[in-house]
Chain A
């Protein structure tokens, strides 16, 4: 398996522009996570999907952020309009079905977003 795939790897955009980040989870994984990593705030969970349904979006910073998972093999995180403070590395992670109470997450390589 190729692992979790994210695109693009780097994105540079100007303030006010729309940004769309993409993720393909590992086949067979039914849980998907979007994280944001910054020096100041560390690793933050933005949203969690289970079986393509958003379960917890309490970490989404504001209405400018939205995420979708139209099918089991694809998810997007959109920022519209983007602001300089959105600059961060965004990670997608997936996890396989839980028979116990928790299974480890597999992370993608991340998208480094710079908003000028």
Chain B
């Protein structure tokens, strides 16, 4: 069965420190992976995606994610956290043979403390 897991409900990071939000997946075949961010009282916003190619994907707001096939992970990273990065982050994986359906993680709340 296909699945995506975000093992941490919440991540706390001090401003200026690097941050990592974890995501692991289980799919058959090549995965298409996505990160979205949700700010309070807002809809989800696309951050970045991995389809193929370079394992390090760069996205919006200085975020990047590293695809690791052997560990079936797609962790979201940023070298220096900002207080404004505080939000809910969702990882998602495309359902195989679908051009529209995603399996969504439960979300990780990221809190950046000044």
In the complex, A33→B41 CA distance in Å? 19
Question: How far, in Å, is A25 (CB) from chain B's closest CB?
Answer: 12
Do residues A102 and B107 form an inter-chain contact, with CB atoms below 8 A?
Answer: no
Question: A91-106 toward B: CB 8 Å interface, digit per residue (1/0)?
Answer: 1010100101110111
| Given A100-B51, A102-B51, A102-B94: A107 in contact with B100 (beta carbons within 8 A) | no
B46 cross-chain contacts in A, Cβ below 8 A: 104-106
Q: Across the interface, do B101 and A45 meet the contact criterion of CB distance under 8 Å?
A: yes
Surface stretch bound by B, among A14-22, A48-56, A63-71, A80-88: A48-56
Chain B residues near A110: list those with CB within 8 A. 41-43
> Does B90 lie within 8 Å of A107, measured CB to CB?
no
CB atoms of B49 and A56 under 8 A apart: no
Instruction: Give A33 to B100 CA distance when docked, in angstroms.
Output: 9
Enumerate chain B residues within 8 angstroms of A33, measured Cβ to Cβ. Answer: 100
A107 touches B45 (CB 8 A): yes
A91→B51 contact, CB < 8 A: no
- Interface size counted on chain B using CB atoms at 8 A: 20
| B106 and A98 contact, CB distance less than 8 A | no
- CB atoms of B101 and A56 under 8 A apart: yes
| Cβ contact within 8 Å between B100 and A48 | yes
CB of B44 within 8 Å of the partner chain: yes
| Cβ-neighbour of A4 out of B36, B43, B100, B101 (below 8 A) | B43
Supplied contacts A93-B43, A98-B99, 15 more A-B pairs, CB within 8 Å: A4-B43, A42-B106, A43-B90, A45-B102, A48-B100, A48-B101, A50-B100, A56-B100, A100-B51, A101-B32, A102-B32, A104-B34, A105-B44, A107-B43, A108-B43
16 contacts between A and B (CB under 8 A): A43-B90, A43-B104, A56-B100, A91-B44, A95-B100, A98-B99, A101-B51, A102-B32, A102-B49, A102-B99, A102-B100, A104-B34, A105-B44, A107-B43, A107-B44, A109-B43
A-B pairs with the 8 shortest C-beta distances? A107-B43, A104-B46, A107-B44, A43-B104, A109-B43, A108-B43, A42-B106, A102-B94
